[in-house]
Every structure is written in structure tokens, then in C-alpha cells.
């Protein structure tokens, strides 16, 4: 046994020495760490859509932070110490979508030569998908489209079904309850646990039955996104149907409960439009001056131009105006702002974000029928969801964990006068990653850094990263039990509803 322990100790000691030899500071490694720190600075200053906003709102002294971090990286004895210094630096700019995480696999690929030398900034775009066939069953078809018919959203965050007098309306995707108000009337609470369409398996199964009938040939490449869009339409319609059922059972209004809903996809927009008859206009948004967005805008131009030959006269007028604006936008996106000046206390020539008004503020369903790429003019044309399936009074209940696409949902309804918000200020994540977003891989440090490439702006020009303020606070506190939070929510909801 003694020999074994001695042998094990020797092996472990050799391994420790070997690992230390791979991570200990040497002049060349220190130079690589510093180069990757510089790459991180460039990435954040140019590719983080909320960089300027975060600096202003947090009062960050950029030259001082740069000096402090550079000193920490230079003084680090190992790559781990240097990585933590750069990681902490990136987290100073955290906004819900900006982060840095240690990834040993990235470091190991760099050590073994399977990674390009130096920091790499890449687009995290989608890859080619397998083929959809009309003969497939729903499970196989949804799986091919990256979905799962067995998937379900999370349940209730607040225990409304357990509250006194609650009447549960069971549903696999959108459970709801009828809740009594103090004056004897009832309000409907419809739970939307998240806006990730991939969590709504029954919606995909329903969507496939209609989508498969449109297939006259194998569905390859981007065709599979048609099933994803159909899933969003199906899910949004189902939510609106449950809302209508609440009205039929006596509710005077429906409250969409998005507490704890961390976001998702454009499913949020599809659902918002299904839940109101009011036209939901979109506002300007911000995009980064970066090759990632330039490629996206160029793609939009290409597909808009391709549609001109099949457009009606009215559509052609919109397309021609859009092409003119896109050409101007492409030129502006190429502008060099001199963003490196921020680290020395200077003022760049321009922001790394370009605020872009929508090509179309609102288009009724069917406006761009006949065009293959109407989404490039009017984003909701992509999911093509029905509007106004539910037409009754609408409220939204949110908390500090309602984020990202949940904030898009709440802000779009509130800013268009379609719903009132109850609860507390939302998380403030705002827009995240379009078309997969961008990423910075740092092999010498073993770090992955990500930042949002877009901004979602409100009607008043404010950034959703500020969080969506409610029309009425629920008055929740950290000491509240879940049951107490339910009671306070119902009290607040009763206050914003019209008096009988």
C-alpha cells in the first residue's frame, strides 16, 4: 500500500508539473494574453450593441478600467489568472446578453493546434438541416425542424391554481385559471411560461398536419423554417383560444402571466398580435456597425430585389423605397467610427450602433402576399400569424425575471395601447442575438465572450435594457411567500380594471 501511495503521489506530482508547464507565464504566453485582452476590448467597443448605454448608465471609467485590467493580465502567473482578469473585465459590461465564460475546450483546442492562432470572432449562424418529407409523422418532422412534440413549457411560477376560489382550465401549453376578485367578478390568468417556440410540442404537431399538405417535394435547406413559423402561428392561436375560453366562462379581462419568463423567439410577436385587434406598430431598432449586420442587411437587399419581379404595383412602390433606404444603410454601416478612442478617454466619430427606422411600421396580414420574402420588409410576415383572435380587455403580469422576448411582448402591447402592465420592472435584457449573433473565442485564455448585436427601442426612444416599467406596481417584496405574491397581484389587477 505504501508503494502504491508513493507511486500515486509521484504520478500526480508529474501531472501537476505538466499542467503547470502548459499554463505558467512565459514571455510568449503573456504576449498572447495581452493580445487577446486587446481583442476583447475591440470586440466590446465595436460589437456590443449596448456598450455605450452600459458605460453611461454604470458610469464606467474606461481608461481606469483598462489600466487596472492590463496590470492584472500582465501580472498574472498563469493563463487561469489572466483569463479571470479578462472575464471580470467583460462582465463589467453585462446587460443580460453580454457575458464572458471560461471554456477549457477552447483553450485545449488552441493548445493542440486545432484552433486558429489568436482570438477569433465568428458568427454563430444556423447550419444546414435534414430534409422534411410529407410522409413523416409529426414526431419525426418536428425533430427534423429542431423541435420536439414531447416538449412542454414550464409550469406556474406563482401558484395561482392553489389560490382560494381559483378554477383551473387545464391545457398542455397554456394553463389558465379563473380568479375571483374582491367585488365578486372574475379575471382570467393565462400562463405563458416562456416564448421559446421549441418548448411547445403540441403546437408543432398541429402545425405539421397543415404544413405537410403544402409539400409537393422534399423540403430541404431553409424550407424547414416554414414548419417553425407554422408552429409559432399554431401556438399563438392556441393561446388566444384559451383567452377567449376564459371570457366565455365569465372573466371580465385576461391577464397574461409572464412572471419568470426569460424570453425566447419571435413567437412573442406572433402571440402579441393574436391577443389584440389593435394594429401593433414597430419602432426603430439599433444594429451594430459590424460585418455580421452588414451581411444580414445585404441579404435583405438581395431578397427584396429578387421580389420586385413578382410584386404587384402597390408592393413595387414599397420595394423600390426599401431598396433606396437599404443602399443608404449599407454605406453607413461601413463607416469607421474610431471606436478604439474610448479606451483613452477620447470621443469616437460615431456610435457603434446605427438606429434604423423600420422599412414598414405596420402592414396588415396579406399585404405582402405573393412575395417570397415579405419578412425583409415587415418582420411579422415571416411567422404570418393571425391578428385579433382575442379581442377582449388585456393585461400583462410581469416580474423582475421577465426578460428578453418577454420584454418585447410587454413593450409592444403597452406602447401600442393594447395592454396595461402590472407587477414590477422587468429584467432589462432587451434584444439579444440576431441570426445567431457574434462570438469571440480566445484560445490562449480559454474564454468565450458574447455580446448583443441589436437594440430594441421603445416608442419613446428608450432602450428595453432599462426594463419595462409596469403601469401599476404589485408591491411585492423579497420576504413575500408565493401565496402572498398571488394575493398582491390580484389586488393590483383589481385596481387597474374598470369599476363595475
pLDDT tens digits along 437-460: 999 999 999 999 999 999 999 999
pLDDT confidence of residue 16: 46
Mean pLDDT to the nearest integer, 331-351: 95
What spatial distance separates the first Cα and last Cα of the chain, rounded to whole Å?
A: 84
Q: How confident is the model at residue 123 (pLDDT cuts 50, 70, 90)?
A: low
Angle subtended by helix axes 267-274 and 405-415, to nearest 10: 30
Q: Would you list the domain boundaries of the chain?
A: 21-122, 138-436+452-496
CA angle 357, 361, 367 (to 5 degrees): 135
Q: How far apart are CA 394 and CA 207, in angstroms?
A: 26
Cell output for 6: 508513493
Mean pLDDT of the chain: 92
User: pLDDT value at position 107?
Assistant: 79
**In this predicted model, what pLDDT tens digit does every residue of 180-206 receive, in sequence order?**
999 999 999 999 999 999 999 999 999
User: Cβ(62)–Cβ(342) under 8 Å?
Assistant: yes
Statement: residue 21 has pLDDT above 70: no
pLDDT of residue 362: 97
pLDDT of residue 119: 58
- Region 128-136 average pLDDT: 82
- Chain centroid, CA 234 distance in Å: 21
The 10s digit of each residue's pLDDT in 286-318 is 999 999 999 999 999 999 999 999 999 999 999
Compute the residue count for the chain: 500
Q: What is the pLDDT of residue 477?
A: 96
Q: Residue 124: what pLDDT?
A: 53
List, for residues 163-180, the tens digit of each pLDDT value: 999 999 999 999 999 999
Q: Which tops the pLDDT comparison, 228 or 8?
A: 228
C-beta of residue 175 within 8 angstroms of C-beta of residue 191: yes
Indicate if the alpha-carbon torsion angle 287, 289, 293, 294 is positive or negative: positive
Q: Which fold has domain 138-436+452-496?
A: 2-enoyl-CoA Hydratase; Chain A, domain 1 (3.90.226)
7 confidence band (pLDDT: 50, 70, 90)? low
Q: In this model, does residue 378 exceed pLDDT 70? A: yes
Alpha carbon distance 173, 481 (integer Å): 26
Q: What is the pLDDT of residue 20?
A: 45
Query: pLDDT band for position 96 (50/70/90)?
Result: confident
Q: What is the pLDDT of residue 130?
A: 76
Report pLDDT for 339.
96
Reply yes or no on whether the pLDDT at 402 is more than 50: yes
- How far, in Å, CA of 445 to CA of 29, rounded? 9
Band (223; pLDDT cuts 50, 70, 90):
confident
Q: pTM of the predicted model, to two decimals?
A: 0.88
**Does pLDDT of 134 surpass 60?**
yes
Write down the pLDDT at residue 47.
97
Q: Contact 156/179 with Cβ under 8 angstroms? A: no
**What percent of the chain is modeled with pLDDT above 70?**
92
- The reported pLDDT for the residue numbered 122 is 59
Position 201 scores a pLDDT of 97
No. of helices (H) and no. of strands (E), the chain: 14, 14
pLDDT-based confidence at residue 14 (cuts at 50, 70, 90)? very low
Query: Are 386 and 365 a contacting pair, CB within 8 Å?
Result: yes
Whether domain 21-122 has CATH 3.40.50.150: the reply is no
Amino acid at each position: 500500500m505504501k508503494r502504491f501511495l508513493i507511486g500515486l503521489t509521484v504520478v500526480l506530482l508529474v501531472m501537476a508539473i505538466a499542467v503547470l508547464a502548459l499554463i505558467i507565464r512565459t514571455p510568449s504566453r503573456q504576449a498572447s494574453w495581452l493580445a487577446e485582452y486587446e481583442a476583447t476590448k475591440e470586440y466590446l467597443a465595436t460589437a456590443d450593441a449596448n456598450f455605450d448605454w452600459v458605460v453611461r448608465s454604470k458610469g464606467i471609467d474606461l481608461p481606469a478600467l483598462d489600466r487596472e485590467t492590463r496590470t492584472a493580465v500582465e501580472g498574472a502567473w498563469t493563463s487561469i489568472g489572466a483569463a479571470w482578469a479578462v472575464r471580470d473585465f467583460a462582465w463589467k459590461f453585462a446587460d443580460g446578453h453580454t457575458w464572458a465564460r471560461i471554456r477549457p475546450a477552447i483553450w485545449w483546442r488552441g493548445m493542440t493546434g486545432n484552433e486558429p492562432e489568436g482570438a477569433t470572432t465568428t458568427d454563430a449562424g444556423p447550419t444546414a438541416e435534414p430534409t422534411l418529407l410529407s410522409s413523416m409523422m409529426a414526431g419525426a418532422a418536428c425533430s427534423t425542424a429542431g423541435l420536439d412534440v414531447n416538449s412542454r413549457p414550464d409550469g406556474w411560477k406563482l401558484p395561482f391554481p392553489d389560490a382560494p376560489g381559483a378554477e383551473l382550465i387545464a391545457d398542455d401549453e397554456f394553463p389558465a385559471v379563473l380568479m375571483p376578485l374582491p367585488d365578486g367578478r372574475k379575471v382570467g390568468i393565462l400562463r405563458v411560461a416562456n416564448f421559446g417556440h421549441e418548448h411547445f410540442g403540441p403546437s408543432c404537431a398541429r402545425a405539421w398536419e397543415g404544413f405537410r399538405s403544402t409539400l409537393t417535394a422534399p423540403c430541404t435547406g431553409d424550407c424547414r423554417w416554414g414548419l417553425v413559423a407554422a408552429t409559432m402561428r399554431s401556438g399563438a392561436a392556441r393561446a388566444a383560444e384559451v383567452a377567449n375560453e376564459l371570457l366565455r366562462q365569465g372573466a371580465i379581462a385576461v391577464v397574461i402571466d409572464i412572471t419568470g419568463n426569460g424570453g425566447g423567439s419571435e413567437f412573442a410577436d406572433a402571440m402579441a398580435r393574436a391577443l389584440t385587434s389593435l394594429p401593433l406598430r414597430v419602432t426603430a431598432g439599433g444594429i451594430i456597425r459590424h460585418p455580421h449586420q452588414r451581411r444580414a442587411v445585404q441579404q435583405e437587399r438581395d431578397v427584396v430585389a429578387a421580389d420586385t419581379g413578382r410584386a404587384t404595383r402597390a408592393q413595387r412602390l414599397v420595394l423600390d423605397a426599401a431598396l433606396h433606404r437599404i443602399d443608404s444603410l449599407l454605406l453607413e454601416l461601413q463607416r469607421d467610427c474610431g471606436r478604439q478612442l474610448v479606451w483613452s478617454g477620447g470621443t469616437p466619430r460615431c456610435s457603434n450602433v446605427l438606429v434604423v427606422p423600420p422599412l414598414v411600421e405596420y402592414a396588415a396580414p396579406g399585404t405582402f402576399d405573393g412575395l417570397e420574402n415579405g419578412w425583409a420588409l415587415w418582420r411579422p410576415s415571416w411567422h404570418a400569424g393571425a391578428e385579433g383572435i382575442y379581442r377582449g380587455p388585456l393585461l400583462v403580469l410581469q416580474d423582475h425575471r421577465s426578460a428578453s422576448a418577454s420584454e418585447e411582448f410587454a413593450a409592444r402591447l403597452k406602447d401600442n395601447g393594447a395592454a396595461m402592465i402590472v407587477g414590477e420592472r422587468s429584467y432589462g435584457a432587451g434584444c439579444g442575438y440576431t441570426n445567431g449573433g457574434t462570438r469571440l473565442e480566445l484560445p490562449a485564455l480559454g474564454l468565450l465572450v458574447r455580446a448583443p448585436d441589436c437594440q430594441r427601442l421603445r416608442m419613446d426612444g428608450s432602450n428595453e435594457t432599462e426594463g419595462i416599467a409596469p403601469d401599476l406596481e404589485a408591491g411585492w417584496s423579497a420576504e413575500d411567500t408565493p401565496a402572498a405574491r398571488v394575493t398582491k397581484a390580484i389586488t393590483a389587477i383589481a385596481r387597474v380594471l374598470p369599476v363595475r
